[in-house]
Structure 1
Amino acid sequence: MGKTLTILAHGDSDGVCSAAIAKAALSSRYDEVKVFFTHPAGLLEDLTNFASGDLIIVDVAINETHVENIRNYLRNYGGEVTYIDHHPPPLNTSVEDLGFTETYVDYVEEASTSELTYRKYRKELSKDFDRVALYGAIADYADVTPWVEEALSRWDKRQIYFEAGILSQGLENSRKLYNLKRDVVNHLSKNLRPSTHEELLKRALNQTQENEKLLTWVEQNVRIEGRVAYVLNPPGSIPIAAIYTLRTANTEVGIAGEVRNDLIVMSLRTTNKKLNLNNTLRKITPTIGGSGGGHKNAAGARIPKENLSKLIELLNEELKRTQQT
């Protein structure tokens, strides 16, 4: 049996670019490189179902709920496990203590995982491969780090932003089309531009049209409770709907959620610089039977659908506290 590398990546642009960079850098060492897409709430299950050989996990936060189970899984895993990520760690836990063979994380500069993955493997990549990392950084709103600014200065930034836009829009229009996403990873791992992937380009144009319709829908369906605005089951991208909700309602927090069976899967955005959505959601969602986290001003959560009002109440309480500090 040949040597295998499994890459578990988040399915957004940052995760896809990170997976492409890792694949490009390491393919020559392995007989087979397999790519699967996961998310914080599903990481433990996907490790069990898909991991084999050496393993790289990119752009996937560690969920507090699964910390101990992931630690136990890694303790018994047979291959090397590398973890590269830019999300804040679980509360009261260091990812370095979870049992990874190697960790490459950065919580200070707010760099994208694409940037971190490129910086780790840059010696094994062509000099022009930095543009793939730039696509991921721009699409993840992590384009103001010193590395990004220096790397962009060596490109026509208009072209880089154009390609990043196609990638992010195209992937948003391909949410659960995992085979297509694998094909995009393979495409980018050859340092080919997103605009030269015919299906991705077509989907990017479709997504742009859908976003315009989504904005109108949000304006007609947004609800406001205190300093929090929300929409449920938007006909389009959940993250983009959260941004449009924030913009339309002019509140401090915007939420877009999708009801899936007994859960609401949601994206949240804030303009309140004193509110850390990652810390807030990691603290309050477990108290209502859910989980959540992400970044300071952009995060995600999953909660029982009957607890939406409670979540909004808790968020309003946190917003009031920010006025007192």
Structure 2
Amino acid sequence: MLEELERVPAGVDSLVLCDIGVDQSRLAQFVDKLGDLARRCEVMYIDHHYLSAESEKRLTKARVKLVHDVEECASMLTYQTFRKDLPEEAKKIALYGAVTDYMDASPLAKKMIEKEDRLFILLEATLLSNSVAERGDDMEYVRLVAEELSRMKQPHEIDEVPRLAVEQLRRTVGLAREVKRGGKKMGMLAYMRTDQHATGSIAKLLIGTFDVPVGVAFREKSEPGWYEVSFRGTSDCKVHLGRVVGRLAERYGGSGGGHKLAAGCRIPRGKIVSLLKELNRRL
């Protein structure tokens, strides 16, 4: 992200960043960079990931317009910020984000979804998230989906979304079998190494398979010697995973962060066991 911000061209009048979730090790640099950009254009930062009070203060002081609330997902915050300029159908798209981020019980999303056909919202959100999971590495496809959503198309109306969603469902059935065979339990968490991209889904499957409050799935990144790790938790998880994972990843030479019950990090391969043991100790 820092590299992308360096490439913001001169002459830009306004810049809006949403749902960035910068890891703790780079947060200070990120805040400084937004402050630099705010000197030459209008900058708005919308997020629901954890930000320290000091970071919020520095962003505000740097004239960055900050929209931040850990109780709502980023799609709901974005919708609320721009709702006067958006068509009526946009609230459905905001709700798809709330559902797929497991935040449809948040104060704002809960009120909005009560006024919709809940099953319709859940089905469309599932089609959308599963199709992106199936083709998530294809950024051209992700951009296509984003463009179609911006035209207020529903997920089932977008080419390839229904087919890809079904393919991902079939893949998930296979993943569930793999989790039973390859997952391991360590105290309050279960973990598994995989070569699949859907590490978040695998982490959730581990929770149910091993009846634990936290699931951890990791795979080797394209850069040798590093793991990409996903963490998922249930309401029985007593720690804020995003904060704990961010601190532990930094301690072991990596970086990471996230939400209370969903987080991610990158970490040297040789440190994964240490991270798992320390996380289990804190649980």
Matches within 5 A, 1:275-290: 275-290=239-254
- Change in CA separation of 1:270 and 1:198 when aligned onto 2, cut-off 3 Å: same
- Change in CA separation of 1:298 and 1:182 when aligned onto 2, cut-off 3 Å: same
% identical aligned pairs:
29
Matches within 5 A, 1:136-175: 136-175=97-136
* AA matched with 1:302: R
Aligned pair 1:87/2:41, yes or no? no
Alignment partners' CA distance in 2, 1:177 and 1:95: 34
Is contact 1:290–1:302 with CA below 8 Å preserved after alignment?
yes
- Change in CA separation of 1:70 and 1:235 when aligned onto 2, cut-off 3 Å: closer
Deviates more, 1:305-314 or 1:225-234: 225-234
Is contact 2:249–2:265 with CA below 8 Å preserved after alignment?
yes
Unaligned runs of 5+ in 2: none
Aligned pair 1:267/2:230, yes or no? yes
Alignment partners' CA distance in 2, 1:205 and 1:55: 36
Report the CA distance between 1:234 and its aligned residue. 4.2
SS of equivalent residue, structure 1 residue 94: helix
Deviates more, 1:284-293 or 1:68-77: 68-77
Is contact 1:82–1:101 with CA below 8 Å preserved after alignment?
yes
Matches within 5 A, 1:1-325: 43-49=1-7, 53=12, 54-77=14-37, 78-89=40-51, 91=52, 93-98=54-59, 99=62, 101-107=64-70, 110-260=71-221, 261-271=224-234, 272-319=236-283
SS of equivalent residue, structure 1 residue 230: strand
Question: Would you say how many aligned residue pairs link Structure 1 and Structure 2?
Answer: 274
Alignment partners' CA distance in 1, 2:105 and 2:188: 29
Alignment partners' CA distance in 2, 1:207 and 1:51: 38
Please give the per-residue CA displacement for 1:94-152, whole angstroms capped at 9, x wherever unaligned: 23413352110102xx2111100000111111223211101111111110123222222
* AA matched with 2:271: N
Q: Which runs of 4+ in 1 moved over 3 A?
A: 49-52
Alignment partners' CA distance in 2, 1:252 and 1:74: 36
Unaligned runs of 5+ in 1: 1-42, 320-325
Alignment partners' CA distance in 2, 1:132 and 1:62: 24
The alignment's TM-score, normalised by the length of structure 1, stands at 0.79
- Change in CA separation of 1:114 and 1:100 when aligned onto 2, cut-off 3 Å: farther
